[in-house]
Structure 1
Amino acid sequence: MNARDNTNKPEELVPSRYALRVGEIDVLVVSDGVLPLPAATMATNADPAALAVWLDHMFLPPDAFDWPLNVLVARSGEQVILVDTGLGSQFPGFPRAGQTPHRLEAAGIDLSSVTDVVITHMHMDHIGGLLVDGIKERLRPDLRIHVAAAEVAFWDTPDFSQTAMPEPVPDVLRSTARQFMEQYRDRLHVFQERHEVAPGVVARRTGGHTPGHCVVDIDSNGQRLTFAGDAMFPVGFEHPDWQNGFEHDPGESTRVRMALFGELADNGGLLVATHLPFPSVGRVAREGDTFRWAPVFWDH
């Protein structure tokens, strides 16, 4: 299988985008690829034996796993909104991530058509796509980048005291956030708690994972989808109290996660999240004191 596309790159043999409609709003989930991470970062407050049982139950390796990365594109009226931008290509240790720019192009979405970007939070796997060489020049000059005020303030002097990240990561997160602010500060549209980015597309701050972490609600004609960013991870449905090593406030993250799960279970809306396996489209149901993930059947 050596078919080639018109960019002379090997044709991808796995799906990397999934389209759906939420009322009158077109939505595209795009895989930015995967990040290999230590399994222990998935549940830093869990008994290691319990985490090992869960990993085995899910047929996942005991020591490391591939962390999915998803971004989302929504078209509301004349606006094209990109939610998060992936990792970018400036991190050579993660060659299978940073796929967003060329996968948008393969989907027929020119970067110059994007009118708005929503940043759920300023970790490198959410802002790095805007820092790839040549990307800024392809963006429209009036691009609006929406981010919570609390997030901008946090990265002036970020606090990593409650995180449990691999040792090199905090310094890279700091430098990437600093570079992002240097390049895009003049395009930021900062909001406090809630902001309507486009008709039916609302960003709202949840905090937790970072102080300014936000989710994006898409609501049209009685249909609903929430892009939850890093508010939840695959292990969170069965163990919503297990805390991730990348959470800057683990206790608040737990509260936010459980509140969002409860909200989604009650309203029946679709869920997409950055680190759920692609295409990360499904619903949430209550299962006693925990929750159950119900992936949608793909619509071909």
Structure 2
Amino acid sequence: MSQAEAASRRIGQEEANMTQNNASQPARARSEELVPSRYAVRVGEIDVLVISDGVLPLPTAMLGHNADPAVRAGWLDDMFLPQDAFDWSLNAVLVRSGGQTILIDAGLGLDPDLNLPRAGQLTKRLEAAGIDLGSVTDIVLTHMHMDHVGGLLVEGVKERLRPDLRIHVAAAEVKFWEAPDFSRVSMPPGFPDALRAAAKRFTEEYRSHLRLFDEEQEVAPGVVATRTGGHTPGHCVVRVASGGDRLMFAGDAVFAVGFEHPDWYNGFEHDPEEAARVRVRLLRELAETGAQLVATHLPFPSVGHVAVDGDAFRWVPAFWDY
């Protein structure tokens, strides 16, 4: 049995033992989908499960709104991608460490005004993996954009969470959303209003669960959230380390085009220049340490490594471990 298979089985069995769900429910959910939606990774003694929340189709200019359109079009051609819209993957991560079950980011949820039927799948896919929402002890939010907090706003979700749930988020992030600045983003119409509304509602509904940190917070043994800023003022990454193994969940600091063009501005970045500096710094760290990378908007399961390639970087996807 491979490490990934063992980790997946271990997580599923532990969570199944904590719930009264019968075994047929995950089987039914799995049979409805034609592609995998979760992938297990072992980081030393820590189990990590990457879970797909679906995909978010956006205009391709969102990949680099400061780039020369001809150069951006060339990159899309080189990647065999369409010119009009690009599917941004939405990945969340579940971590088991020290008796805690930590969910990193909570997915998009269901906003009827945005008509995004291929996203907002996280709750369903957690259930398909045998993960009971009531077993989650901690949630880490890389930031408070709607595609990271929206899953907590779906009807019926809050009632299934533990009353003592801890939600870890940088204090600077909560402060930012009291009066968010959208003056430097490049988003499609409707998104700023939706993001404001989701962040406000999340803060109101979950304020008593928030555990704020300034720069760094150890959430569980070997699981550390660190504020990077850039994408949003309180954006953070989560580093997982055990034994000699390391993995970084980079949230929105790294996206598909950012290896070859780390200076291109993602349309959701509130401080594009700082976001680019953060991106380069993290990519250099990953290349130097050899740590595995997982990120919200890299193609699922987004597990791989980073190599230096001249003045830029190269993405090295992991071979799937069955």
Normalised to the residue count of structure 1, the TM-score between the two structures is: 0.97
Q: Percent identity?
A: 68
1:66 and 2:87 are equivalent in the alignment: yes
Which residue is equivalent to 1:181?
203
| Runs of at least 5 residues in structure 2 that lack an aligned partner in the other structure | 1-24
Partner of 1:154: 176
Q: The residue matched to 2:164 in structure 1 has which SS?
A: coil
Task: Tell me the distance in 2 between the aligned counterparts of 1:228 and 1:193.
Answer: 15
* 8 Å contact kept, 2:43–2:247: yes
Which residue of structure 2 aligns with residue 200 of structure 1? 222
| Rounded Cα–Cα distance in structure 2 between residues aligned with 1:248 and 1:222 | 35
Q: Are 1:23 and 1:220, in contact at CA under 8 Å, matched by a contact in 2?
A: yes
Name structure 1 gaps, 5 residues minimum: none
How far the C-alpha of 1:90 sits from its partner, in A, is 2.8
Moved over 6 A (4+): none
CA deviation after TM superposition for structure 1 residue 222, in Å: 1.3
Q: Confirm whether residue 271 of structure 1 aligns to residue 272 of structure 2.
A: no
- Quick one: which amino acid aligns to residue 222 of structure 1? G
Paired residues for 1:1-300 under 5 Å: 11-91=32-112, 93-300=115-322
Distance in 1, matches of 2:41 and 2:118, equals 25
How far apart are the structure 2 equivalents of 1:181 and 1:210? 16
Q: Structure 2: which amino acid aligns with 1:75?
A: R
What is the rounded CA distance, in whole Å, between the counterparts of 1:86 and 1:275 in structure 2?
A: 11
Alpha-carbon distance, 1:232 to partner:
1.1
Relative to 1, partners in 2 of residues 1:132 and 1:65: Cα closer, same or farther, differing over 3 Å? same
Q: Is the 8 A contact 1:233 1:275 kept in 2?
A: yes
Taking the aligned partners of 1:166 and 1:129, their CA distance within structure 2 comes to 21
Shift of 1:9: 8.7
Measured against aligned partners, the alpha-carbon deviations of 1:91-129 in whole angstroms (never above 9, x if no partner) come to 351001000001001111100000000000000000000
Q: Would you say the 8 A contact 2:182–2:192 is kept in 1?
A: yes
What is the alpha-carbon distance in structure 1 between the residues aligned to residue 251 and residue 26 of structure 2?
31
With over 3 angstroms needed to count, the CA separation of the structure-2 counterparts of 1:140 and 1:164, relative to structure 1, is: same
- Aligned Cα root-mean-square deviation (Å): 1.3
* Amino acid across the alignment from 2:236: C
Residue 167 of structure 1 and its aligned partner are, at CA, apart by: 1.8
Tell me the distance in 2 between the aligned counterparts of 1:191 and 1:19. 28
The aligned length equals 297
Amino acid aligned to 1:256: V
Greater per-residue helix proportion: 2
Give 1:8 deviation, angstroms: 7.5
1:63, distance to aligned residue in structure 2 (A): 1.0
Instruction: Give the conservation status (yes or no) of the 8 Å contact 1:113–1:140.
Output: yes
What amino acid is aligned across from residue 50 of structure 1 in structure 2? V
2:62 is aligned with what amino acid? T
Q: For residues 143 and 247 of structure 1, what CA distance do their matches in structure 2 show?
A: 29
Deviates more, 1:104-113 or 1:91-100: 91-100
